[in-house]
Structure 1
Amino acid sequence: MLEIKEYELLNSLIKLKIKCTQRQVAEKFSMSLGKVNQIVRKLCEQQLIQIGSDNVFQITERGVAALEPYKVHNAIIMAAGMSSRFAPLSYEKPKGLLKVKGEILIEREIRQLHEAGIDDITVVVGYMKEKFFYLEEKFGVKIIVNEDYYRFNNTSTLIRVTEQLSNTYICSSDNYFVDNVFEPYVFKPYYSAVYAAGETDEYCLECDNKGRIKNVKIGGVDSWYMLGHVYFDHNFSKKFVQILKEEYVKEETRSQLWENLYMRHMNELCLYIRKYEADKVLEFDSLDELRAFDQAYINNTDSKIMKNICRVLQCEDRDIVNIKAIKAGLTNTSFRFSVGDKDYVYRHPGKGTENYINRKSEAFSMEVAAELKLDNTFIYIDEQEGWKISYFVQNARELDYHNSSEVAAAISMMRTLSQEKRKSEYNFDIWKRAMEFVERLQEEQKSDFDDFLNLENLMKQLYSYIEKDTTEKCLCHCDCYSPNFLFDDENNLYLIDWEYSGNDDPASDLGTFICCSDYSYEEAVATIEQYHDGKVDGKILAHYLGYVSIASYYWYLWALYQETMGKHVGEYLYIWYKNSKFYAKKAIEMYEL
């Protein structure tokens, strides 16, 4: 193996394809002539370089062979992720396909790799994968599809290329390198880094005096942090692949970045820091950052979403600022933004929602909600495509199920809606929708467990009683749980998100409200009585408890369906399952008295 200075000298000779004098080498590497003479003598003895009569030396064939262990074999470009923080542009195309200063990000990266002599390039795609397929023909890259992109993190990308990891560049499709950072030969494995003055929430590096990364922590002050490309050498790749394969069975590993796996095994996995100037290695985390670098985006983002906003709010692209992604929900993705001195929210419909959400029904309900002052945030909804613009509620807090005044305000809203007895053209019918989910789950083969059928039979027994009750159906919200009841600083209440609304039994709204809470049975009964302004008799109580069960069952099935789409619902899945059974048995018992 070569020493670092020996490598640098040989690499310079082969990379620059020039002959050098010892004085030129000393100047280039900031070494004394004595040290250069020592290195040159050793390389000459090993016949790795040769010196001509003019005292100029050049690399030999043996010298080229000595560099072979350091030759970069290939590159992996990770392009599977959704880049949900980069709203709204990433809602319409993968971030790696954005055009920055006239070049598409991933194409620029591929060209830079080619310029460094690296032609073996694999692009791992997932989100909007079909939009990357053209790269195979245009640049000769290989395409690998990561079907787990929506549910796992980038470890799910690297697990698909373990056989290709050797002397390998690991790249992100959305980085912009002002200068070409890639080289045909690399001495040791590294992670590129830039310096952040002041506080940062990035992955900050602590290194020893040789530059080996000894610790990584999230957040720091005046720190070098991970950004850009990474280089795995053969030894690093071999050990990393072993660890990744052993640990990929763990949920923790699949749900985290590969960097987190590296952080847990830093004693076994050796990476060095490679420092770059902050204006040379770039990643754009927001449209505002992109606009600062490429002023073409100030006046024209070439985004349909931005055009929607401009049309509704009568503004220009450049007026839409302070864009921040709101944590993606299970149904949709959203972002907040400012125009002038007002803040807004743009709701973007999620993939597959057209299968179970009627946007025309939602549009009608939003008009009613605004009229009844149940939701003063509403501005506009497109009833064909489902996107919506609303006012942003500053410092909003969701309802506290154990705050009596807040619960009273929510009950008053639900009662106002039911007492109005508005009729929509569209029915929701929570029982019918539940049965539709049963069919979908059967089609997806997600209902093949004994208790699924047992619960279905119990619910059908309950519904055989409920359907005999004579209750007038009217417009209902159909998703009345705490996150949809928002309070502002002045305790004004807004009932938001009318996606599931339509004509149904009013008991379904109260049933949803209770089934999503942590209420005891006694608290649930008290809430039903509060809704009715007093004690209720057996049949009415049975009806409302029955709808707690039916609402629980609907949302339980909905949650199972969401998980077939890769969206994990969490503890609510179990809560709704338990409430389905518990309240069904309570209601049936009362009906049979």
Structure 2
Amino acid sequence: MTLTRTEFDVLRIFTMNEPVLHAPQVAHATDLPPEMVEETLDTLTHDGFISSGRVTQKGAEALEPYRVDSAVILATDLYPRFAPISYEEPKGLLKVRGEILIERQIEQLQAAGITNITIAVGYKQECFFYLSAKYEVKLLVNHEYAERDNGWTLWLARELLGNTYLCPSDDYFAANPFERYVYKAYHASVYVEGSTDEWCLGTDGGERIVSASIGGHDSWVTQGHAYFDRAFSERFIPLLGQALMQSENESKPWESIYAENLSSLDMEIRRYSSDIIHEFNSLEELEEFEPGFVSHVSSPILDNITQVLSCFRADIHGFLPVSQGLTNLSFRFSVNGQEYVYRHPGIGTDKFIDRDAETQANTVAHRLGVDRTFLYEDSKQGWKICRFVRNARNLDPLDPTQVKRAMELCRSFHESGARINATFDFFGNGVSYESLLEGHGAINISGYYELREKVARISAHASGDGYPPCFSHNDYLPLNFLIDEQNGMDVIDWEFAGMSDPGNDFATFVICSQYDEGKAEEALSYYFGGTPTFLERRHFWAMVVLGGWCWYVWALEKDAEGAGVGEWESIYKSYAVDYVDRVLTWYEEGE
């Protein structure tokens, strides 16, 4: 039998209370009019669902389709907006008001009788493993958490979805929002006054959600958990799968796919007071909820800042994530009116970056005036603090004036005579990355070894061209240039620096600017201050091939580590594949 909403609400109340309830108590608990409660109680009693003030076996059977089967807690994300704390520890494992956020949620679910709980993990997944033994929960790993959003996580969890709670791991519920029986699919929501960049919900004359869009003002927004009933899950899972099979949807959150299919997905809004569901989008918001949090939270990053800048934690404000690079995590902050950037080493970077060499390179670049932003780097742990350049812009690779400056600048530090105790050879480093890659298993990529053999021949030819190693950046791409409001130019991020072939910086610049042959030749003429000779062109184009191969293998290894670089993998590869035969011909047959 299908229960009406009113019958369900009244019957559910009787499962939650041991003492016999009377109509006024039920009306108070359900917010239903007393006369409606009286009428519903008569119906439920007449139909045999309630007897002597208690739920009968028949009543329990009627409630069974509404019983919550399971819960999936989403704990895959890095939460970059919560820098710097989330760089050190998953946000869901923070202790807030004396309780670990995800543990509090698990205990609230279990208190509601929901014991089939799965934790979906990704970022720093090993930090969550203890929960399996402590609470007898299951773990589901999303190995692609860095490239794909929670839509993919739900797809991995699709067989777990029925009557299921879906919960962010990092929310703090002041009161337990979970129930053993739920009538219909819903999304929790709180009202936000003013502008917001959250998902804003609109409803029909009842509570069904009929619109969902990011951003708005004076709106009910998604916050906290969602509940999928079985009908919703059965309808949503195929739609989710169809969407994720399209490349443009691979990184979409589940909410976007839901919003695109509102007409065929029946979900209600469930409104909560803002003092029940607490969502912390920044360290400042959590500090407001728990004054003193920043002062007592365990954070080596905050300790590093206080030591380098001779300040107190209370002096540090304005944490903002910086657009993430391919290897590291960075955030911006201010101390006593001055702005800085903290660079946190990314996952697996210790395997292929010599932080001692990077520290030497940063020091040299600062001394040469090439990087005026550098302040301090820890050569053992790899973290770094620099000055933040307000209103800086990156180099525009399509602006000939800027490209000319960049080529002249790299030639100047190539010829500076500066030295550091590190080398960087495209082919040699590529072979090192290859060894790391093979640690994950055999390289079964069509054409890989044929390309490698040709690249090895080019490396041997180029080594005989007689170019002495010089101080080089080796990651000389437009995003690593900062141009300030006075048009001053700084080159940052020297983690791949070493004594290298002078063609390395030109090659990386060409590849990462995605230049065609004409643009590359123009940049080469800027480097040489005129038209290069055939031998110069041959050598520097050899470096383009070697650089493309080196960064391609590096990208493959990053992907194997679970921190892939997306489309850049194919871009790097293309510069090796597209030019390898021509350069070999130049060396082996002549111009």
TM-score, normalised to structure 2, is 0.93
Aligned to 1:137: 133
The residue aligned with 1:49 is 50
In the aligned structure 2, how far is the partner of 1:232 from the partner of 1:521? 54
Hey, what's the Cα distance between the residues in 1 that align with 2:90 and 2:323? 18
Counterpart contact for 1:76–1:171, Cα < 8 Å? yes
Residues 29 and 503 of structure 1: CA distance in aligned 2, closer, same or farther (over 3 Å): closer
Task: Give yes or no for contact 2:146–2:564 (8 Å, CA) kept in 1.
Answer: no
Pick from 460, 464, 471: which aligns with 2:467? 471
Could you say what secondary structure the match of 1:397 adopts? coil
Would you say the 8 A contact 1:165–1:232 is kept in 2? yes
Q: Kindly indicate whether the alpha-carbon contact (under 8 Å) linking 1:393 and 1:488 is maintained by their aligned counterparts in 2.
A: yes
Matched with 1:15 is: 16
Q: What is the letter of the counterpart of residue 500 of structure 1?
A: F
**1:423 match:** 419
Which residue of 2 is the match for residue 378 of structure 1? 374
Which residue does 2:495 correspond to in 1? 499
Letter in 2 for 1:208: D
Q: Deviations over 1:519-569 (max 9, x none)?
A: 343432332232222233222232222223222222232233333334443
Matching residue within 394, 398, 402 for 1:402: 398
Letter in 2 for 1:155: G
| Counterpart Cα distance in 2 of 1:422 and 1:206 | 63
For residues 429 and 203 of structure 1, do their structure 2 counterparts lie closer, same or farther at Cα, with a shift above 3 Å needed?
same
Structure 2 counterpart of 1:515, one-letter code? I
Contact 2:361 2:498 in 1 (8 A): yes
Q: Is the 8 A contact 1:301 1:317 kept in 2?
A: no
Segment of structure 1 superposing worse, 32-41 or 118-127:
32-41
* CA–CA separation in structure 2 for the residues paired with 1:304 and 1:517: 36
Residues 427-442 of structure 1: matches in 2 within 5 Å? 427-442=423-438
Residue from 208, 211, 215 that aligns with 2:207? 211
- How many Å separate the matches in 2 of 1:448 and 1:47? 66
517-526 or 41-50: which moved more?
A: 517-526
Cα separation, partners in 2 of 1:61 and 1:454, compared to 1, 3 Å: closer
Identity of aligned residues (%): 38
Alpha-carbon distance between aligned partners in 2 of 1:450 and 1:379, rounded to the nearest angstrom: 45
1:120, 1:445 → 2: CA distance?
35
Quick one: which of 67, 72, 94 aligns to 2:68?
72
Which of the residues 504, 508, 515 maps onto 1:519?
515
Counterpart-to-counterpart distance in 1, 2:189 and 2:258: 16
Pick from 93, 99, 103 the counterpart of residue 95 of structure 2: 99
Tell me how far 1:240 sits from its aligned partner. 2.8
Give the structure 2 partner of residue 536 of structure 1. 532
SS in 1 for 2:82: coil
- Other structure's SS at 1:335 match: strand
Match in the other structure for 2:179: 183
Deviations 1:100-134 (A, max 9, x none): 00100011111212222222322222322222222
User: Which segments of 5 or more consecutive residues in structure 1 lack a partner in the other structure?
Assistant: 52-56
Find the aligned partners of 1:537 and 1:313 in 2 and give their Cα distance: 50
Letter in 2 for 1:315: C
Q: SS where residue 45 of structure 2 aligns?
A: helix
Question: Following superposition of structure 1 onto structure 2, how do residues 263-302 of structure 1 map, counting pairs within 5 Å?
Answer: 263-302=259-298
Q: Check 1:543–1:161 CA distance in 2 against 1; reply closer, same or farther (3 A cut).
A: closer
Query: CA shift at 1:285, angstroms?
Result: 1.2
The answer to whether the 8 A contact 2:347-2:563 is kept is no
The aligned runs of 1:72-91 (5 Å cut-off) are 72-91=68-87
**What amino acid is aligned across from residue 171 of structure 1 in structure 2?**
C
* 2-structure distance, mates of 1:367, 1:334: 20
- Quote how far apart the aligned CAs of 1:445 are: 5.0
Does 2:560 match 1:580?
no
Number of equivalent positions: 588
Separation (CA, whole Å) in 1 of partners of 2:282 and 2:411: 42
State which drifts further: 567-576 or 165-174. Answer: 567-576
Query: 5+ residue gaps in structure 2?
Result: none
Secondary structure of the corresponding residue to residue 524 of structure 1:
helix
Secondary structure of the 1:184 match is: coil
In the TM superposition, what is the alpha-carbon distance from 1:586 to its structure 2 partner? 4.5
What is the CA deviation profile of residues 258-285 of structure 1, one whole-angstrom value per residue up to 9, with x for unaligned ones?
2222223323321100001122101111
The structural deviation recorded for 1:300 is 2.3
In structure 1, distance between residues paired with 2:577 and 2:250: 33
Deviation at 1:581, TM superposition (A): 4.2
User: Which amino acid letter does the alignment assign opposite residue 8 of structure 1?
Assistant: D
C-alpha contact (below 8 Å) 1:170/1:231 kept by paired residues:
yes
Q: Match of 1:54?
A: none
Contact map agreement 2:366 2:372 (CA 8 A) in 1:
yes
Offset of 1:327 from its aligned partner?
2.5
Could you tell me how far 1:250 is from its partner in structure 2? 4.0
1:111 maps to which of 107, 110, 119: 107
Q: Supply the distance in 1 between the matched residues of 2:580 and 2:242 (Cα, whole angstroms).
A: 44
Return the offset for 1:497.
Answer: 0.6
**Paired position in structure 2 for 1:232:** 228
Contact persistence 1:556–1:576 (CA under 8 A): yes
Match of 2:456 in 1: 460
The answer to whether the 8 Å contact 1:515/1:549 transfers is no
Q: Which region of structure 1 is more displaced relative to structure 2, 342-351 or 453-462?
A: 453-462
Question: In 2, distance between residues paired with 1:524 and 1:242?
Answer: 47
Alignment-mate amino acid for residue 495 of structure 2: E
Once the two structures are TM-superposed, the CA of residue 253 in structure 1 deviates from its matched residue by 4.8
Note closer, same or farther for the CA distance 1:356–1:35 as it changes in structure 2 (3 Å cut).
closer
Counting only pairs closer than 5 Å after superposition, residues 214-363 of structure 1 correspond to structure 2 as 214-363=210-359
Alpha-carbon offset, residue 62 of structure 1: 3.3
CA distance in 1, matches of 2:436, 2:77: 27
> Does structure 1 retain, via aligned residues, the 8 Å contact 2:13–2:26?
no
Confirm whether residue 6 of structure 1 aligns to residue 2 of structure 2: no
Letter in 2 for 1:104: I
For residues 68 and 475 of structure 1, do their structure 2 counterparts lie closer, same or farther at Cα, with a shift above 3 Å needed?
Answer: same
- Cα distance change, pair 474–180 in 1 and its aligned pair in 2 (3 A): same
Within 2, Cα distance between the matches of 1:148 and 1:517?
Answer: 27
Identify the range of structure 1 (118-127 vs 26-35) with the bigger mean alpha-carbon deviation.
Answer: 26-35
Q: Is the 8 A contact 1:545 1:584 kept in 2?
A: no
CA contact (8 A) 1:473 1:505 kept: yes
1:483 — aligned with what?
479
Q: 139-148 or 499-508, which moves further after superposition?
A: 139-148
Structure 1 CA distance for aligned equivalents of residues 244 and 521 of structure 2? 46
Aligned to 1:171: 167
Residue matched to 2:194: 198
Alpha-carbon deviation of 1:171? Answer: 1.3
